[in-house]
Chain A
Amino acid sequence: MRRLTWFNATSLTLGFAFLYIPMIVVIIYSFNESRLVTVWGGFSTKWYGELLQNEAFLSAAWVTFKVGFFSSIIATVLGTMGAYVLVRGGRFYGRTLFSGMIYAPLVMPEVITGLSLLLLFISIGLDRGMFTIILAHATFSMCYVSVVVSSRLVSFDRSVEEAALDLGCTPFEAFRLVTLPIIAPAVISGWLLALTLSLDDLVIASFVAGPSATTLPIKVFSSIRLGVSPEINALSTILIGIVTIGTIAASLTTKRAVMRRQREERMAEQAG
């Protein structure tokens, strides 16, 4: 009983208009010749040129990229281990505390996470900078990775792993040759999620960054506070563009993978 009534069509149109109009306005005004953000002064790409010459933004973008790269890798390794322990670890001392610590950061307000990590770094005398941002980001993103990977681990048939062990694999070989390829899609989407979270984070980074390292969100936040500017419009457009291309590419890849699997299944049926 799927039908597109006028009610559904209106709510979809209005809903998506609400979600997209603000972003589309930003994109349009990034090509505005005028410095004033509300007056249209003709088409121009000059703000992109100014953005690319803005040293402060470029260095902040580079810091953000490095932080995202390292923290998402650490988060993926730790998060996958965490998911494995959560699903396969069996009983061990402090299991409830462990699963609590995996789920708690997902709902914790960022101001509290940021404050507590900053106080930790200060009390152990760790200098704030890129390293502390990486540690902080790896910690909260590993929890997201764990949740994504553990949902895949739960639904997977354990007997293949046991078969590998019976056939003489060491537990590590069984993990590398059997388990990892099966959970790979979840690990990759966990890594992408960790990367996005790290690139996007403002609150935690501004607590733990210190004066020596500024990430792009911190830089953007401080310039937005001074008012709307065409450079920020240009930067936003670039970021929205990257995300759009990335999301569409990812969805096309999964769609193609699903279609290939269906075709293989059909061929296997015919052959059998």
Chain B
Amino acid sequence: MRRFSLIAVPYLWLLGLFMVPFLIVFKISLSDVALSIPPYTPTLELSDGWAGFRDFLSQLDFENFEFLATDDLYWKSYLSSVQIAFISTSICLLIGFPIAYGMANAPKEWQPTLMLLVILPFWTSFLIRVYSLIGILSQEGMLNQFLMWVGIINEPLTILNTNVAVYIGIVYTYVPFMILPIYATLIKLDGSLLEAAEDLGCSRTEAFWRITVPLSKAGIIAGCFLVFIPALGEFVIPSLLGGSDTLMIGKVLYEEFFANRDWPVAGAVAVILLLILIIPIVLYQRNEQKMMEAET
């Protein structure tokens, strides 16, 4: 009995506040928009019993999904979200790997401090970190002033409110997610393997590509997923740093829901986003499982 209640409490909580809400989103994505409260039809009338339920089911359809397929705005937003998430993830890897590598090769007594320096931005408010970029990227901001002072450019560049600012924002806020898992695999790397490679005639660079990189693959994959998945549904960064032509699906969903009050279409947008996400999530879980098996 005690065991039952121990299992039941968290189970029912998640069922009620995680699973059921998704089913509701799915249901609403099959409904039609209406001028009422709540703004969609049909609504389930429990008082009508079984006939009411059948009537309700018969009114659901895939119209909203057909609408998403025909209007370019949506599939362009999906494509551009995937593109933005993919490019930002690649830049995160290019920046994050050398940092993680430098940390793993730094003197032992520095490592806790370096680790602290990576974790600190991680705990600092996400919104504040995005905000801190606005002043730097603006027309008269620090970055433009610096570039003009060095003499690379003569006139200030427009960076804020473009896709470039979105890339900078995603890389800046998510790079710790890339550094930490790569650092975790690099720190476990056995140094004697590198020595053996050098003894056997590898140059340092060759040893790096043939030993360090393959052995840190698990961390690289984990880091890429940890950046890619949240970047795909990002809403805050494109709406603060991006311009009106920045298309990201999280922003489209938010606006569809709050500005247009078209709940059924917002529901359909969410369902498709979820379907796109299931692929990387399944791949990620498989990778995690492989890592666990490799460790035991």
Contacts and interface: CB of A to CB of B under 8 A. Distances in A.
Interface of A: 1-5, 7-9, 11-12, 15-16, 18-23, 25-26, 29, 37-38, 78-79, 81-82, 84-85, 89, 92, 94, 97-98, 101-105, 107-112, 115-117, 119-120, 122-123, 135-136, 139, 142, 146, 171-172, 196, 199-200, 202-203, 217, 220-221, 224-225, 228, 232, 236, 239-240, 243-244, 246-248, 251, 255
19 contacts: A1-B194, A8-B102, A8-B106, A15-B98, A19-B118, A26-B131, A78-B10, A78-B13, A101-B18, A103-B285, A111-B235, A119-B21, A119-B24, A119-B28, A202-B127, A217-B125, A224-B134, A236-B131, A239-B125
Nearest to B139: A38
B95 A2 contact: no
Given A18-B172, A119-B24, A247 B123 contact: yes
Given A110-B235, A236-B132, A22 B172 contact: yes
Interface stretch (B55-63, B68-76, B147-155, B266-274): B266-274
Contact of A221 (B6, B119, B123, B127): B127
A98 to B, nearest CB: 6
A102 B138 CA distance: 41
B253 A224 contact: no
Interface string B133-166: 1111010111000000000000000000000000
Given A19-B175, A98-B11, A119-B28, A12 B103 contact: yes
Given A22-B129, A142-B13, A220-B131, A109 B124 contact: no
Nearest to A199: B125
Nearest to B115: A251
B107 A119 contact: no
Contact of A122 (B38, B105, B131): B38
A119 B194 CA distance: 55
Given A78-B13, A112-B233, A116-B25, A38 B140 contact: yes
A139 B124 contact: no
B114 interface: yes
B132 A92 contact: no
A81 B98 CA distance: 40
Contact of A101 (B19, B25, B134, B229): B19
Contacts of A120: 17, 20-21, 24
A202 B140 CA distance: 28
Contact of A38 (B2, B135, B233): B135
A7 to B, nearest CB: 8
B120 A107 contact: no
Nearest to B26: A116
Contacts of B99: 11-12, 15-16
Could you say which of B99, B194, B277, B285 has the most chain A C-beta atoms within 10 Å of its C-beta?
B99
Contact of B107 (A4, A84, A136): A4
B240 A85 contact: no
A146 B118 CA distance: 24
Main secondary structure of the interface of A (DSSP, over half): helix
A4 B250 contact: no
B121 interface: yes
Nearest to B99: A15
Contacts of B98: 7-8, 11, 15
B9 interface: yes
B220 to A, nearest CB: 16
Nearest to B225: A107
B23 to A, nearest CB: 9
B133 A5 contact: no
A89 B172 contact: no
A142 B10 contact: yes
A243 B128 CA distance: 12
A243 B235 CA distance: 24
Nearest to B232: A109
A116 B117 contact: no
B203 to A, nearest CB: 14
Contacts of A11: 98-99, 101-102
Given A239-B124, A251-B112, A38 B138 contact: yes
A228 B135 contact: yes
Interface string B228-267: 0110111110011000000000100110010000010011
B291 interface: no
B86 interface: no
Given A5-B105, A89-B7, A220 B117 contact: no
B133 A22 contact: yes
Contacts of B266: 115
Given A26-B128, A85-B6, 8 more contacts: A2-B107, A19-B118, A26-B131, A38-B141, A109-B233, A111-B270, A112-B233, A119-B21
A244 B25 contact: no
